[in-house]
Amino acid sequence: MKPRILRALIPWLLLGLTAPLPAVAAAGDVRIIVDVSAAMGRADPDNRRGEALGLLLRLLPEGSDAGVWTYGQYVNMLVKYDQVGGLWKENAAILTADLESVGQRSNLLEAVERATWDRAAADGPADVVLLTDGRLDVSDDPGIDEAQRRRLLADLAPELAAAGYRVHALTLSDRADNALLGQLAALTGGHHGRLEGAAELPEGLLAVLGWVAGPATLTLSEQGSFEVAPGTGALTALRPGGGLDTPAALVTPGGERLTRTTSRQRLRWHVGREYELITVDDPAPGRWRFEGAGAGGRVYAYTDLTLDYPDLPGTLFPDRLRTFDLVLSSGGRIVDDVDFLSLIDVSARLHGAGGDRPLVVEPGDDGRFAVNMMGPEQAGEYLLETRVWGPTFEQTLSLPLVLKHPLSVEIHPAEDGFVLWVQVSAAELDHDALRLAALVKRPPGAARMFPLERMPAGLWKLVVPGARGLAEVTLDLKGSYLNDRPFDLRTQPIRIVLPVPGVRHVDLGMDGRPALVTPAPVAEAEPRSAANRPGPATPPPAAPPALPAAAEPAAPEAPDAVLPVWLAVMVAVVNLAIGLSVWWLIGAPRRDPEQDEMLNALRRAAGLPEEELPGDTAAQEAGEAEAPAEKAAA
């Protein structure tokens, strides 16, 4: 068949590849969890998250399943978990528009547990979107909060990963426990985004949209025109900054101009405080135009032709070369038609801290493409843009990524030496096949290799003896990815001065060099010996579940009561004042002449000398005082 004939028939090839199902993106499963604690209210006082959530909810593909949970001290299902449709979207947007932040606590663990109640029987992938101020706070007792963190990372995160749940966490405050949320995202293969303020909420949630819904972004020309492919179930045009004076409009391939006042059954128009959204169901294929799109305007298309990275996690770590499968599917089936694949082009670029770079894309015979990602050298946030185009269509899939080192290291003091705890946070590694060893050198002695003890939930432990001196520890991690490709990672030497004064957290650079050694941010609720210590005080890394995971730690034994100094002084002063008052009332000397005369009469009646009358010390003292005066007068 000649190429130009294929170009003419490509719309019909697409239609022939489509299964007899509704022409929308593949159905997904989205659980949205929103923090409504008082701390979240301080981070977002104008409730901009309500408007941003409405945008995300309206962009979810119809036919997927979704629900919204809120949490502070208690967890509440705000929007019923159900199949997404037009009515569900509008109802969800109304319910999330006005979120009151009144919770005095932040019960993150229970919120994730409640939203993933069916994880034990899950039969497919699901995405959890967590929008939070970033703290886990259920009690004034730090030991209880620490137990909750351990349960979240050591127990719940592995369950979620095994069930196919990815947790995408967006943090909105500089007070956020980014170590905890970053590990939760990494352990489940999700994305962790850090927002500088509430103004970044719409863009932050739109970035996550690529993971949870996978809509195609259509390319807009300078004149605002874009191509709609056959089989597109819906298109949504987004213009940031709703309520602008310049009216927006969509012009169809036939020349019809759609505006806010257009009466059309398959047209939905929403104008919000932060955005304007136009959705057209079953759009006609061909060249459209978006008038008044503005600088941030974009068009999403829910088509039968979709792009997907089945094994790409939202958190990556340094490696020499990574290869990820890119799947092109239509109607839920992989497109493997050789004639069709010969007409399309696929490209990928990585944007981020290390600059923009093109990626090598190799086509396969089975409809899969291999995207070779040369490892970036700088940690930070990146954007992977994958573009596919043919003679009659063009679309892009954008996915945010975070690049970080997979090892989190903490050093704990011991009676003789120190305890090294290492957390491996990487969802795409085969953790059963991992081997972690430490090369320990105690100058001037020779270096020795020690295997680390494997603990649950990706945690490893090594006890290193030695009371004083210097120790250098180099970590060596070997194993394989889930696709059986070998994995090898080695750090630079970590210098440790003994004795270790307290818990230390080691930050590893992308080259494995210890960039910074800082005290662990939160101490344990109760000091323990290194032998009985259940792991690091705060994540990363998470402490091993040596104790029963569901049990909260016992309250620390109260020390012997000690009376404060200020209270003891106050009690003494009060006692002294009371004693002086009593003495004044019943025992203080009174020089009353009439009483003295009465006492003298009693003495004479009793035949006693005045100075020997029992109890009359006052009169005696008075008499003794008068005698010298009389002599002086004589």
Look-up: residue for tokens 């009793």?
606
CB distance 168 to 209 below 8 Å: no
CA distance 237 to 56: 13
* pLDDT score for 133: 80
* pLDDT score for 78: 95
CA distance 509 to 487: 18
**Which three-class secondary structure state does DSSP give residue 623?**
helix
Pick the CATH number of 407-519 from 1.20.210.10, 3.40.1390.20, 3.40.50.300, 2.60.40.10: 2.60.40.10
Kindly list the domain boundaries of the chain, sorted by start residue: 3-16+306-403, 29-212, 216-303, 407-519
Model pTM score: 0.72
* pLDDT score for 183: 87
Torsion over CA of 92, 98, 104 and 107, rounded to 10 degrees? 20
**273 forms bridges with which residues in the sheet?**
none
Q: Terminus-to-terminus CA distance in the chain, angstroms?
A: 155
Q: What is the 3-state secondary structure (H, E, C) of 11-74?
A: HHHHHHCCCCCCCCCCCCEEEEEEECEHHHHHHCCCCHHHHHHHHHHHHCCCCCEEEEEEECCC
| Separation in Å, CA 318 to CA 403, 460, 474, 491 | 7, 20, 17, 11
Q: What is the 3-state secondary structure (H, E, C) of 280-326?
A: EECCCCEEEEEECCCCCCEEEEEECEEEECCCCCCEECCCCEEEEEE
Segment-wise mean pLDDT, segments of 10 residues, the chain, 634 residues: 39 39 56 91 87 92 93 93 93 90 87 94 86 85 87 90 92 81 90 88 90 86 89 89 73 92 83 87 92 86 86 80 83 82 90 85 84 78 90 86 87 89 83 90 88 85 85 91 81 89 84 71 38 36 34 35 46 56 49 52 53 42 41 38
Beta-carbon contacts of 575 under 8 Å, excluding residues fewer than 6 positions away, are none
Tokens representing 603 are 């003495």
Torsion over CA of 168, 173, 179 and 184, rounded to 10 degrees? -20
* pLDDT score for 532: 35
Q: Is 478 left (phi over 0), alpha (psi -120 to 50) or beta?
A: beta
Return the CATH fold of 216-303: Immunoglobulin-like (2.60.40)
* pLDDT score for 317: 79
Q: Which of 323, 296, 131 is nearest to 208 (CA)?
A: 131
CA distance 628 to 467: 82
The answer to whether domain 3-16+306-403 and domain 407-519 are alike in fold is yes
> Please, what is the Cα angle at 286 between 261 and 331, to 5 degrees?
100
CA distance 98 to 116: 24
| Phi, psi dihedrals of residue 109, rounded to the nearest 5° | -60, -50
- 3-16+306-403: what CATH class? mainly beta
Tokens representing 371 are 């995207």
Supply the angle between the helices 593-606 and 617-633 in degrees, to the nearest 10.
100
Q: Classify domain 29-212 at the CATH superfamily level.
A: von Willebrand factor, type A domain (3.40.50.410)
Q: Residue 445's CB: how many other CB atoms inside 10 A?
A: 9
